[in-house]
């Protein structure tokens, strides 16, 4: 007989403070929670799974503190695990690449296909929605206003875009990966034709016409629930993330119904259960879609407690009693 689901599997790193907020709520509701980081594969994370002719897994997952049957998992909260490659960084390059790929396709394959489990959100959906190019195209097709954008490595085209649509901004697609010296951020920044040189050809760049904004909005959608804050910086910074977060002003803001509907359609299109949307707000009240982080941070927002409960509701609603 198949075991009854009784466990929420939280896939994330031990440093993930945002996930802790949801885990606390799940513990309050007496749901069983297992936290696992796939990069711990080895003595700290053991697994065994057999698949039958019906395509169902029978097996177990064991962390340093938990031992569960895979069939007991009723929901998966997929947050921010460390890359598999971290576990094998000490190996020679060829061996590291091989071991990383095997772990991704083996353990990762199991964790992506737990039968009947609710995923918030499924890693395949998160990955699909993580491309800014796809985000902009989808948002525009759903009726949201977006900045005029150019993705290119062609210097001539970049300079032409700056000349015709300036002032323009540059923003990175993914940011700078961490290094032994620490994290380095590339904030959204203004650029001119004179700033552009042959280095543009080295890789892809995202240039956009600058939005003349008066504030920003962070809209967090969890299932069908919508949480929104108007964010104002004391110095009117181009990128609110670049300053002192303690100086940011957060005010509740009502999201216009057409935008709410478009955001739900956006999540449905990508198969997501969660989205952290960023908008620029113009003086006339127009909302300009900037991006959506399909697995964004929210623990720093004023209504984070309500968001943690909304996520717990979403994880438990189909199977927990």
Statement: residue 112 has pLDDT above 80: yes
Closest by alpha carbon to 21, among 258, 304, 247, 315? Answer: 304
pLDDT score of 181: 61
Q: Which CATH architecture is the domain 7-120 placed in?
A: 3-Layer(aba) Sandwich (3.40)
Task: Say which DSSP state 81 is in.
Answer: P
* CATH fourth-level superfamily of 125-145+212-311: ATP-grasp fold, B domain (3.30.470.20)
CATH of 148-210, one of 3.30.1360, 3.30.1490, 2.60.40, 3.10.50: 3.30.1490
Statement: residue 104 has pLDDT above 60: yes
Provide the pLDDT confidence category of residue 260 given band limits of 50, 70 and 90.
very high
Is residue 186 within 8 Å of residue 176, measured between CB atoms? yes
Provide the pLDDT confidence category of residue 200 given band limits of 50, 70 and 90.
very high
Q: Give the three-state DSSP class for 225.
A: strand
**Residue scoring higher pLDDT (3 or 198):** 198
Statement: residue 245 has pLDDT above 90: no
Closest by alpha carbon to 79, among 120, 109, 47, 27? Answer: 120
Provide the pLDDT confidence category of residue 34 given band limits of 50, 70 and 90.
very high
Provide the pLDDT confidence category of residue 241 given band limits of 50, 70 and 90.
confident
Provide the pLDDT confidence category of residue 52 given band limits of 50, 70 and 90.
confident
Omega into 280 within 30° of 0, i.e. cis?
no
Averaged pLDDT of the chain: 92
Percent of the chain with pLDDT over 70: 95
Omega into 85 within 30° of 0, i.e. cis?
no
* Backbone φ and ψ of 189, nearest 5°: -145, 150
* Backbone φ and ψ of 106, nearest 5°: -85, -75
Statement: residue 236 has pLDDT above 80: no
pLDDT score of 161: 96
Alpha helices, DSSP H, located in the chain: 17-28, 84-87, 93-111, 123-128, 132-141, 155-165, 257-270, 304-316
Statement: residue 320 has pLDDT above 90: no
Statement: residue 79 has pLDDT above 90: yes
Stretch 250-266: mean pLDDT: 97
Statement: residue 247 has pLDDT above 80: no
Stretch 41-46: mean pLDDT: 94
* 118-138 pLDDT, tens digit each: 999 999 999 999 999 999 999
Domain boundaries, the chain: 7-120, 125-145+212-311, 148-210
Closest by alpha carbon to 61, among 7, 100, 17, 104? Answer: 7
Q: Give the three-state DSSP class for 53.
A: coil
| pTM recorded for the entire structure | 0.92
Is residue 222 within 8 Å of residue 311, measured between CB atoms? yes
Stretch 164-193: mean pLDDT: 81
Provide the pLDDT confidence category of residue 319 given band limits of 50, 70 and 90.
confident
Range in 13-27, 71-85, 190-204, 244-258 the model is least confident about: 244-258
Stretch 140-154: mean pLDDT: 97
pLDDT score of 184: 62
Could you identify the residue written with the tokens 């699909």?
128
Q: Give the three-state DSSP class for 37.
A: coil
Rounded to whole angstroms, how far apart are CA atoms 153 and 201? 4
């Amino acid at each position: 007989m198949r075991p009854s689901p009784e466990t929420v599997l939280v896939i994330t790193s031990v440093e993930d403070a945002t996930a802790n907020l949801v885990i606390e709520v799940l513990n309050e509701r007496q749901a069983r929670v297992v936290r696992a980081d796939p990069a711990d594969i080895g003595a700290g994370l053991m697994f065994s799974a057999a698949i039958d002719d019906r395509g169902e897994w029978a097996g177990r997952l064991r962390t340093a503190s938990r031992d569960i049957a895979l069939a007991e998992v009723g929901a998966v909260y997929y947050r921010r695990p460390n890359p598999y490659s971290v576990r094998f960084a000490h190996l020679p390059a060829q061996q590291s690449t091989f071991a990383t790929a095997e772990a991704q396709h083996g353990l990762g394959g199991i964790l992506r296909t737990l039968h009947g489990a609710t995923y918030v959100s499924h890693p395949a959906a998160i990955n699909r929605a993580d491309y800014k190019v796809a985000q902009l195209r989808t948002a525009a097709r759903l009726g949201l206003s977006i900045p005029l954008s150019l993705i290119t490595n062609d210097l001539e085209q970049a300079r032409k875009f700056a000349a015709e649509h300036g002032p323009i901004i540059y923003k990175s697609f993914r940011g700078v990966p961490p290094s032994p010296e620490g994290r380095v951020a590339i904030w959204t920044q203004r650029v001119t034709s004179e700033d552009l040189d042959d280095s543009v050809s080295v890789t892809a760049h995202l240039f956009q016409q600058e939005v003349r904004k008066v504030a920003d909005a962070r809209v967090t959608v969890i299932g069908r629930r919508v949480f929104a804050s108007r964010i104002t910086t004391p110095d009117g910074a181009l990128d609110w993330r670049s300053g002192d977060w303690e100086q940011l002003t957060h005010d509740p803001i009502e999201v216009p119904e057409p935008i709410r509907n478009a955001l739900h359609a956006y999540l449905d299109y990508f198969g997501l259960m969660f989205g952290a949307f960023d908008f620029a707000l113009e003086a006339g009240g127009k909302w300009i879609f900037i991006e959506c982080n399909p697995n964004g941070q929210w623990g720093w927002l004023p209504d984070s407690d309500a968001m943690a409960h909304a996520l717990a509701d979403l994880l438990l609603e189909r199977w927990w009693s």
